[in-house]
Structure 1
Amino acid sequence: MSQPEHFEMLIIGSGEGGKYLAWHMAKSGRRTAVVERKLIGGSCPNTNCLPSKNEIWSAKVADFVHHAGRFGTVTGPTATDMKQVQARKRGMVEDMIAKHLELYKASGAELIMGTARFIAPKTIEVELNDGGTRVLTGERVAINLGTHATIPDIPGLAAAAPLTNVELLELDRLPEHLIVLGGGYVGLELAQAYRRFGSRVSIVETGPQLAGREDSDVTAALLEMLRDEGVVVHLGVKVLRVEGRSGQAVSLQMRTSAGDQTIEGSDILVAAGRTPNTSGIGLDIAGVTLDERGYIAVNDRLETSAPGVWAIGEAAGSPQFTHVSFDDFRIISANLTGGNRTKRDRLVPYCMFTDPPLARVGLSEAEAQRQGIAVRVAKLPVAAVLRAQTISETRGFMKALVEAGGERILGFTMIGAEAGEVMTVVQAAMLAGMPYTGLRDAIIAHPTMAEALGALFSNLPAR
């Protein structure tokens, strides 16, 4: 066995929170190492968030071209070149990896490419990607393992070698008929994108609605949008069996309220949840406890059951967004220097990049009802927003929740053009404790989408 090498900060995984913690600690003068199995910078710049948004924008351009006539532009026959779509995405990823390597070099943190497993508390053995092993110990250890796509236990599914978002985003061909198993973020974003590229697309969702944690008016708008674009959506089904092989020919047998049906397709994408990357790494040897779902159990300061060991991001059960992993880094780094930050009461925003996008921060109507919180609700159709009319993107609506007996904003949801940007305005008001009247009465530039917040909050019922 190699002789142990000691670091003041040892980080397993170079995802968002892990890499920022490494750069911060190294710049602060601590000897720091990061062990990464494959993806420099983690999944976001390599396989997940940014590559998917890159391809989704290519699909948006394809949609613009398809509807160019309504904007006064005359085009001839067009088609999507998936090889060029891939080339644009890969160029972005390569640039980002190069930038990450520059940041590692500038910070002084050592990036070690290999597979880590604990062999003792605060001690890991790393099987290096280019051969050999190293044994590393850390005065402090942070675990940033991430998650991977769940493959449901459906007869024949694993044998069909289904695509996950990772493999789909590497295809340089266009699936003839893509069957999407799952109606959440990943499934909806990619279903719409590949429909716009030219694939036939079917979504199979076992739940009664798409985007299961959203209000029914939101999911109804999503369903209408997808069906108008030619995506076939099956809700409330039980998948019985999958046969064939994805990429060649595949069939999915399902039970519906109308009886058993079979869908024939060329490819199948599994987008049915995530599984933490916590198995096989020796966390039990490290003294790190998992919860009943296999995620690392942490307290509000992201400390694990092992002294001097923290966990970051998705594998720690944090909301599965890059921006939350970054905040996990801020919590840990602040506390290491005498602070007292916690993850309690974080106001976590999110945005689903369908077109139009869906964005939400704070409570939904359903959540308010479940929690017994009385609210007043204001809604405004996007079609009433003058900016939306100028760009011919009038689908969707805005919805705000305000406490029934006061002026505090409790939640905001928007499905519509630039929803993420408008949501951020409301989030800033919520963080500042601004009453809804502050947005209602603000002078906001015209014509912008955010300008509609004045009209939205003017629609709020009186107390």
Structure 2
Amino acid sequence: MSNAERYDAVVIGSGEGGKYLAWHLAQAGEKTAVVERRWIGGSCPNINCLPSKNEIWSAGVARIAARAGEFGVTTGPVSVEMRQVLQRKRDMVDGLVAFHLDRYKATGAELIMGTARLVEPQTVEVSLNGGGTRRLVADKLFLNLGTQASVPPVPGLAEAKPLTHIEALELDRLPDHLVVLGGGYVGLEFAQAYRRFGSRITIIERGPRLAKREDEDVSREIQRILEAEGIELLLSTEVERVEGQSVDDVRVLIDTPDGRKTIEGTDILVAAGRTPNTRGIGLEEAGIELTGRGYIRVNDRLETTAPNTWAIGECAGSPQFTHMSLDDFRVIRDNLSGGNRSTKDRMTPYCMFIDPPLARIGMSEEQARAKGVTARVAKLPTKAVLRTRTTSESAGFMKALVDADDRILGFTMIGSEAGEVMAVVQTAMLAGLPYMALRDAILAHPTMAEGLNALFSNVPAKSG
């Protein structure tokens, strides 16, 4: 092994927050290295956010083509060539990787491809992908370890070699019958996309409803939308055993409210949550404590229990979104410069890219009730927004929560362009504006955001 090399900063993992921090520190003149096992730029541009939305967009195009007649457009038979869908996604990923490599070169941050393990506090041993090892000693150490798809301990499931989101994004064929385990973000996005590509889809969810963290009316609307597209939903259903092999022939034995059944499919996709990549790399030996769920224990400045060591993103228990990892970078960056930024009370935007998409910012009704917060609730069906008359995309609704001081507590929308409309409300919330500012704003016609005028006109009057 070579002698130890000293760095001002070492980042393990090249995901969103870690790479931006490395680039920032390197540009500030600090000797900085990033250790990455495989995915240059992290999971988002390679195997997660952007690739999945790329293929979801292709599925949306297939849906539009199939509906062309509704819009007066005559087409021939519509078919999907999965090899071309896959190639389009791969081309995008290649471009993103090239962008990241350019950024490393431009900033001066060193990218080291290999597997990292902590052997002492602030000391990292790297088994290089190309062979050999290096030992890095860091004045400041940043852990950007990410998470991986969880595979529940269901008898026969691991042996069936199920798809996770990684393998699902590399399919160059169309599954005849895809069985999806999980009714959360990943499961629902993939289920709808592959239904639109032409697969038969069955979603198995152990809870009584989909998207369990959302309000019940949101879950019902998602269920209605997916069932209208021919997706089979099995709720309050436990998977007892899996037999066979995914990609060939798989049988899922389930316990439903109507009794035990067997679902036969060709492929099975596991979308049952995430597990932090924190085990077996020497964290405990370096004095870095974990929570009971295996995440790195941090304070509100993202400092770990070890000196001069920080954690970023999902491995630190931050909300599992790329945009939250980016904000983790900002928190650490500013505090390193003498600031006092915190992760407490951050406003987290949520967006599920089903079609129509679901977006939420701030409190839901259920969260407000759980916290004992009194809120006035306004609701508006998406079909009431005139823009939908021009697009025929009228599914869903908007909902807002307003407090006694006329401040917006939360906003939820399931409907066309929900993520973009949410950003308007989020901006108003960040500015502390009363809801009347959006009620009375002059918003361009005909846009989806224009619906905010009508939504906030429906806010009930103050009681008493």
Structure 1 residue 322 corresponds to structure 2 residue 339: no
Q: What amino acid is the match of 2:184?
A: G
Q: What amino acid is the match of 2:263?
A: I
What is the aligned partner in structure 1 of residue 42 from structure 2? 42
CA distance in 2, matches of 1:203, 1:264: 12
Q: Which string of whole-angstrom CA distances, capped at 9 and with x for unpartnered residues, describes residues 317-359 of structure 1?
A: 0000000000000000100010110101100101000000000
CA distance in 2, matches of 1:77, 1:92: 28
What is the aligned partner in structure 2 of residue 451 from structure 1? 450
- Following superposition, the deviation at residue 78 of structure 1 comes to 1.7
What is the aligned partner in structure 1 of residue 416 from structure 2? 417
What is the aligned partner in structure 2 of residue 460 from structure 1? 459
Q: What amino acid is the match of 1:462?
A: A
What is the aligned partner in structure 2 of residue 122 from structure 1? 122
Q: How does 1:29-68 map to 2 (within 5 A)?
A: 29-68=29-68
CA distance in 2, matches of 1:268, 1:285: 38
What is the aligned partner in structure 2 of residue 111 from structure 1? 111
What is the aligned partner in structure 1 of residue 307 from structure 2? 307
Q: How does 1:165-244 map to 2 (within 5 A)?
A: 165-244=165-244
- Please state whether the residue corresponding to 2:254 is helix, strand or coil: strand
Q: What amino acid is the match of 2:418?
A: A
Q: What amino acid is the match of 1:453?
A: L
What is the aligned partner in structure 2 of residue 281 from structure 1? 281
- The answer for unaligned runs of 5 or more in structure 2 is none
- Following superposition, the deviation at residue 36 of structure 1 comes to 0.2
- Following superposition, the deviation at residue 316 of structure 1 comes to 0.4
Per the normalisation by structure 1, the TM-score is 0.99
- Following superposition, the deviation at residue 76 of structure 1 comes to 1.1
- Please state whether the residue corresponding to 2:5 is helix, strand or coil: strand
CA distance in 1, matches of 2:428, 2:369: 23
What is the aligned partner in structure 1 of residue 142 from structure 2? 142
- Following superposition, the deviation at residue 178 of structure 1 comes to 0.1
- Following superposition, the deviation at residue 188 of structure 1 comes to 0.3
- Following superposition, the deviation at residue 383 of structure 1 comes to 0.4
CA distance in 1, matches of 2:419, 2:209: 22
- The answer for unaligned runs of 5 or more in structure 1 is none
- Please state whether the residue corresponding to 1:318 is helix, strand or coil: coil
CA distance in 2, matches of 1:392, 1:256: 36
Give me the CA root mean square deviation. 0.5
- Following superposition, the deviation at residue 301 of structure 1 comes to 0.1
CA distance in 2, matches of 1:333, 1:376: 38
What is the aligned partner in structure 1 of residue 407 from structure 2? 408
- Following superposition, the deviation at residue 286 of structure 1 comes to 1.3
CA distance in 2, matches of 1:225, 1:78: 22
What is the aligned partner in structure 1 of residue 11 from structure 2? 11
CA distance in 2, matches of 1:74, 1:55: 25
- Please state whether the residue corresponding to 2:402 is helix, strand or coil: strand
Q: How does 1:330-349 map to 2 (within 5 A)?
A: 330-349=330-349
- Please state whether the residue corresponding to 1:380 is helix, strand or coil: strand
What is the aligned partner in structure 2 of residue 433 from structure 1? 432
CA distance in 2, matches of 1:82, 1:274: 27
What is the aligned partner in structure 1 of residue 350 from structure 2? 350
CA distance in 1, matches of 2:373, 2:295: 30
- Please state whether the residue corresponding to 2:38 is helix, strand or coil: coil
Per the normalisation by structure 2, the TM-score is 0.99
- Please state whether the residue corresponding to 2:134 is helix, strand or coil: strand
- Following superposition, the deviation at residue 389 of structure 1 comes to 1.3
Percent sequence identity over aligned pairs: 65
CA distance in 2, matches of 1:197, 1:257: 30
- Following superposition, the deviation at residue 284 of structure 1 comes to 1.1
CA distance in 2, matches of 1:319, 1:180: 23
Structure 1 residue 291 corresponds to structure 2 residue 291: yes
CA distance in 2, matches of 1:130, 1:348: 40
CA distance in 2, matches of 1:13, 1:33: 10
Q: What amino acid is the match of 2:439?
A: R
- Following superposition, the deviation at residue 140 of structure 1 comes to 0.2
Q: What amino acid is the match of 1:424?
A: A
Q: Which string of whole-angstrom CA distances, capped at 9 and with x for unpartnered residues, describes residues 172-229 of structure 1?
A: 0000000000000000000000000000000000011000111110000000000000
Q: Which string of whole-angstrom CA distances, capped at 9 and with x for unpartnered residues, describes residues 30-65 of structure 1?
A: 000000000000000000000000000000000000
- Please state whether the residue corresponding to 2:426 is helix, strand or coil: helix
Q: What amino acid is the match of 1:452?
A: G
Q: What amino acid is the match of 1:354?
A: I
Aligned residues: 462
What is the aligned partner in structure 2 of residue 363 from structure 1? 363
Q: What amino acid is the match of 2:171?
A: L
